[in-house]
Structure 1
């Protein structure tokens, strides 16, 4: 399994002991407000297992992100594979996502992590179209998506009724 290192971060595939730290991150009010359909521990566990399944079935998924100096988990970022029921222009595509602990937002860490992820993904899987979804109103993530090369596709509604904006990042 890959381990990616940047100047400030270490990214590695998740292990079962990461669940509690990740649950704490997504349960924080500041973070949870932008997570479509986050409904508590059972929902988070299903997401955590879906990510593990992406690693197992596709060879890629979201990485656990740790600060190199302190070693503490501050989020997860990566490219994973999932089906969301959003249509053929989005489903069954590599999907990017980033979640950082609320006190780490605004430091350029998500950009640093995702740049390392995209470099690794491209080396391993070649240039590929990658999609992402962001809740309307999450302006910091929308700005980051643009900085990472994503462009809007369309607005969509998740099967549970939540509104999201869909983006794509084309190869090259």
Structure 2
């Protein structure tokens, strides 16, 4: 039987599950969605206008769904860090420096927000700006748009690794 209260164990499970879900969802965009969009363009001759419109839909859905999951996940990690901070009853049960580990898990999980702004901002702006300004046909833009989508895919993998690392750090903090 665990000496930790059920709320602590539930937060551990929710934090780890949230981090894993978030990482998988984000990374799947790079591993499945972007290659599918690019294949639609090259194999089925889907226009760049349609391609960027589809990207916008993916982007908007992700923008709506990922931050709340990241916030919920980070809130669980924050609760865990607060619960095992020095001087609390659970601090004597928890591994040394586990509060710091959970705090790092918080930072890594919410790190998707600054990563999106700093690392991906220009690529997002390029793709979304192109889609907004397109009149249906533009010559010579295929290489640029395809390149932006490929770059977005790689940068997005980096973003997906942040909550994965947060989840792994939380596991180490709890061991």
Taking structure 2 as the reference length, what is the TM-score of the superposition? 0.21
Higher RCO by CA contacts (8 Å cutoff, separation 6 or greater): 2
**Greater strand percent: which structure?**
1
Give the TM-score normalised by the residue count of structure 1.
0.22
Higher helix share: 2
